[in-house]
Amino acid sequence: MSENQLPQFPEPFWRETELPTFKKLDTSIKADVGIVGGGITGITTAYLLSKQNFKVVLIDSDEILNGTTGHTTAKITAQHGLIYDEFIKHMGEEKAAKYYKAAMKAKELIEKLITEHKIDCDYEQQDAYVYTSDDGYMMQLENEMKAYEKLQISSEFLSEIPLKLPIKAAVKMHDQAQFHPLKYLKELVQECKKNGVLFYENTTAVDIEYNKHPNIVTRDGHRITCNHVIAASHFPFYDKQSFYFARMYPQRSYVLAITSKLKFPGGMYINAENPTRSIRTTPGDKGPLWLIGGESHKTGQGESVIHHYEKLEQFSSKHFDIQDIVYRWSAQDLTTIDKVPYIGPVSKGEENVYVATGYRKWGMTNGTAAAMMLADRITETPNEFAEIYEPSRFQPDPSVRKFMEINADVAKHMLKGKLDFSNNKLTELKTDEAVVTRINGTRTGIYKDKKETLHAVDTTCTHLGCEVEWNSGDRSWDCPCHGSRFTYEGSVIEGPAKKPLAKVEIPNE
């Protein structure tokens, strides 16, 4: 049982920032480049291209910066967990070195833009640590250290870290950074506006049509005719039969922002084992806020969501002497089969529609690197990193095994949902709770809101027909197969699904 009170509603600290708002697109327009998605990828790409005099239009289905970028922990680092030993084994030293270099180039660009535009975004240089408290992970840490040495990454192997945690070992990567992502991106949006970028919010892209040029088709039936389209929509809104849903899996994670009686010693931390624990601080109104993240699991799977927050609270209480829990939030990110993002043409031969996705919770650097690579493609500038991120690549090892795993898991959840003959009693439903029951044979999810109004939806996901599960922490219906999420009224929060859940009439008793 929690000792400290969790905030009732999820709200990321970053979203306290006052952001510009934009109207909905209400006509068809033309642009050189149409960007779908106003997160770090879309906004950075819009900035880079508009600097080079491209006419850019950026649309977002929601408000800008309310997707994963608004719910991140915003470490800017090339230390993406334990990855370099694995990359060297699977794709060789040269490509692993390129991955590291691309992330460091992204960090450099962020620094350059902060300096150039005098952006006040709590940017701080910090060392990054992967630690383990488990003897079983010692060899992996040692191998990671050897990989750092091969790649000449400035680093140290440690048996203690500045933070008071019982650890066995840690690998430290020097000179990484952290910032307030929305203070930073808000200024890039202002710069984009000066460069003529047109932003539209509450404007959903549903398809691409081809005439002479690609046209982004919006839900309201308007067209953005452009020479290049960038799907920076987190999960690509347009697939071109490339089956991105079968080549990536979504993982949710949770964050608590706490105040502590302890003094933070500096550094950014993540453990190697499960459950994940990620730790950094950021300046808050009443002193530093400690961001404690982790508890990753596949979207729509696992235990009741609120337990994940409780576990982070227990970890924080045990080690960091909590004063107050000020914010809580959660979000998901996508991981590709070989853990390298997909950045480039959506499919082979379709050279003017691009995707950037699969950042594995390292999108501050991966998203910025993606923006640099996509801008280079459009300006026809050679880019030394583009090849390893090519979405159409095929790496037999370990891809095939992982592909089978992802899709066997989907099949398992598809079947489990169909065999779940839930018939819970509606009469027992309390305020702010949901049940799954059967109405006229349809598996129906019913949420009772604060005003005691019932919202009933057909739980069959509109993507490929799996059964969605209730997420009590975010009050959403989440799909365990491919990570689509829906509000309790059935609207799409995130894809791959494009259509809302069907509403169900609750019969009078």
Ligand X SMILES: Cc1cc2nc3c(=O)[nH]c(=O)nc-3n(C[C@H](O)[C@H](O)[C@H](O)COP(=O)(O)OP(=O)(O)OC[C@H]3O[C@@H](n4cnc5c(N)ncnc54)[C@H](O)[C@@H]3O)c2cc1C
CB atoms within 10 A of CB 17: 17
CB atoms within 10 A of CB 507: 7
CB atoms within 10 A of CB 442: 14
Residue that has been written with the tokens 């950045």 in this structure:
343
If one asks whether residue 367 binds ligand X (CB under 6 A), the answer comes out as yes
End-to-end CA distance of the chain: 37
Q: What CA–CA distance (Å, rounded) separates 505 from 509? A: 12
β-pairing, 485-487 vs 476-478, is antiparallel
**DSSP symbol at 502:** P
Sheet strands (E) in 149-305? 155-158, 169-178, 198-200, 205-210, 214-218, 223-231, 248-260, 268-271, 277-284, 287-298
Question: Angle 360-365-367 (CA atoms, 0-180°, nearest 5)?
Answer: 70
If one asks whether residue 332 binds ligand X (CB under 6 A), the answer comes out as yes
Q: How many residues bind ligand X (CB under 6 A)?
A: 40
If one asks whether residue 237 binds ligand X (CB under 6 A), the answer comes out as yes
Site for ligand X (CB under 6 A): which residue of 25, 31, 35, 36?
A: 36
The nearer residue to ligand X, 367 or 417, going by C-beta atoms, is: 367
If one asks whether residue 448 binds ligand X (CB under 6 A), the answer comes out as no
We find the least distance from the C-beta atom of residue 300 to ligand X, in angstroms, to be 15
For residues 360 and 286, is the Cβ–Cβ distance under 8 A? Answer: no
The nearer residue to ligand X, 87 or 444, going by C-beta atoms, is: 87
Best CA proximity match to 293, nearest among 21, 14, 464, 74: 74
Site for ligand X (CB under 6 A): which residue of 10, 14, 41, 46?
A: 41
If one asks whether residue 42 binds ligand X (CB under 6 A), the answer comes out as yes
Q: What CA–CA distance (Å, rounded) separates 88 from 95? A: 8
- Which listed range, 93-101, 169-177, 357-365, 410-418, lies at the site for ligand X (CB under 6 A)? 357-365
Question: Tokens at residue 336, please?
Answer: 């590709």
If one asks whether residue 72 binds ligand X (CB under 6 A), the answer comes out as yes
Residue nearest ligand X, Cβ-based? 363
We find the least distance from the C-beta atom of residue 143 to ligand X, in angstroms, to be 23
If one asks whether residue 476 binds ligand X (CB under 6 A), the answer comes out as no
Largest distance between two CA atoms of the chain: 71
For residues 479 and 463, is the Cβ–Cβ distance under 8 A? Answer: yes
Site for ligand X (CB under 6 A): which residue of 34, 39, 267, 483?
A: 39
With the CA atoms of 464, 466, 470 and 476 taken in that order, what torsion angle do they form, in degrees rounded to the nearest 10? Answer: 0
Best CA proximity match to 36, nearest among 50, 47, 46, 23: 46
If one asks whether residue 11 binds ligand X (CB under 6 A), the answer comes out as no
Q: In what order do the strands lie in the sheet with 485-487?
A: 469-471, 476-478, 485-487, 492-494
The nearer residue to ligand X, 234 or 443, going by C-beta atoms, is: 234
We find the least distance from the C-beta atom of residue 312 to ligand X, in angstroms, to be 11
- Which listed range, 15-23, 38-46, 312-320, 442-450, lies at the site for ligand X (CB under 6 A)? 38-46
If one asks whether residue 67 binds ligand X (CB under 6 A), the answer comes out as yes
Site for ligand X (CB under 6 A): which residue of 10, 12, 37, 490?
A: 37
Site for ligand X (CB under 6 A): which residue of 144, 191, 333, 458?
A: 333
If one asks whether residue 466 binds ligand X (CB under 6 A), the answer comes out as no
We find the least distance from the C-beta atom of residue 103 to ligand X, in angstroms, to be 9
We find the least distance from the C-beta atom of residue 162 to ligand X, in angstroms, to be 18
Site for ligand X (CB under 6 A): which residue of 277, 339, 361, 377?
A: 361
We find the least distance from the C-beta atom of residue 93 to ligand X, in angstroms, to be 24
- Which listed range, 136-144, 191-199, 230-238, 424-432, lies at the site for ligand X (CB under 6 A)? 230-238
If one asks whether residue 496 binds ligand X (CB under 6 A), the answer comes out as no
**Site residues (CB under 6 A) for ligand X, limited to 287-306:** 293
We find the least distance from the C-beta atom of residue 500 to ligand X, in angstroms, to be 13
C-alpha distances (whole Å) from 274 to each of 47, 132, 137, 441 are 37, 10, 11, 39
Q: What CA–CA distance (Å, rounded) separates 293 from 275? A: 10
Site for ligand X (CB under 6 A): which residue of 45, 73, 299, 459?
A: 73
Characterize 323-354 residue by residue with b for buried, 16 or more Cβ atoms within 10 angstroms of its Cβ, and e for exposed: eebbbbbbbbbbbbbbbbbbbbbbbeebebbb
The nearer residue to ligand X, 218 or 459, going by C-beta atoms, is: 218
We find the least distance from the C-beta atom of residue 255 to ligand X, in angstroms, to be 5
Element (H, E) at 88: helix 84-91
Q: What CA–CA distance (Å, rounded) separates 74 from 354? A: 24
Per-residue binding letters, 93-122, with ligand X (x by CB under 6 A): ------------------------------
**In the complex, which residues of this chain contact ligand X (CB under 6 A)?**
36-42, 59-62, 66-69, 71-75, 204-205, 232-234, 237, 253, 255, 293, 331-333, 359, 361-365, 367, 495
